[in-house]
Structure 1
Amino acid sequence: MGIDESAERVIPLPCEQVAAYAMDWRHDAEWTQGIREATLTREAEGGGFGAGAEVTRTAYFLGKRIDYVLRVAAYDPPGLLDMVSVAGPMSMHVTYTFAPHQGGTLARIRVRGDTAGFYRPAAPLMGRKVRSSLVKDLRDLEQRLTPSR
Structure 2
Amino acid sequence: MAVDVETEIVIDRPRAEVAAFCADPDNATRWYRNITAVEWVTAPPLAAGSRLAFVASFLGRRLSYTYEVREHVPGERFVMSTQEGPFPMRTTYTWEDADAETGTGTLMRLRNDGEPSGFAGVAAPMMARAMRSANRKDLALLKQVLEG
TM-score computed with the length of structure 1 as normaliser = 0.92
Identity %: 35
1:30 deviates by 1.0
Write the letter of the residue equivalent to 2:78: L
Write the letter of the residue equivalent to 1:142: K
Counterparts of 1:58-137 in structure 2, within 5 Å, are 58-102=55-99, 103-137=104-138
SS at match of 2:20: helix
Q: Report which stretch shifted further, 23-32 or 81-90.
A: 81-90
Aligned residues: 144
Q: Report which stretch shifted further, 53-62 or 81-90.
A: 81-90
SS at match of 2:3: strand
SS at match of 1:55: strand
1:88 deviates by 3.7
SS at match of 1:48: coil
2:18 is equivalent to residue 2 of structure 1? no
Superimposed CA distance per residue, residues 96-141 of structure 1 (whole angstroms, 9 cap, x where no aligned partner): 0011121500000000022211212211110000111111111111
Would you say the 8 A contact 1:15–1:104 is kept in 2?
Answer: yes
Q: Report which stretch shifted further, 19-28 or 113-122.
A: 113-122
SS at match of 1:42: coil
Superimposed CA distance per residue, residues 28-61 of structure 1 (whole angstroms, 9 cap, x where no aligned partner): 1111131000111123xxx521110011100000
- RMSD, aligned CA: 1.2
Q: After the TM superposition, list the runs of 4 or more consecutive aligned residues in structure 1 that deviate by more than 3 angstroms.
A: none
Unpaired runs of at least 5, structure 1: none
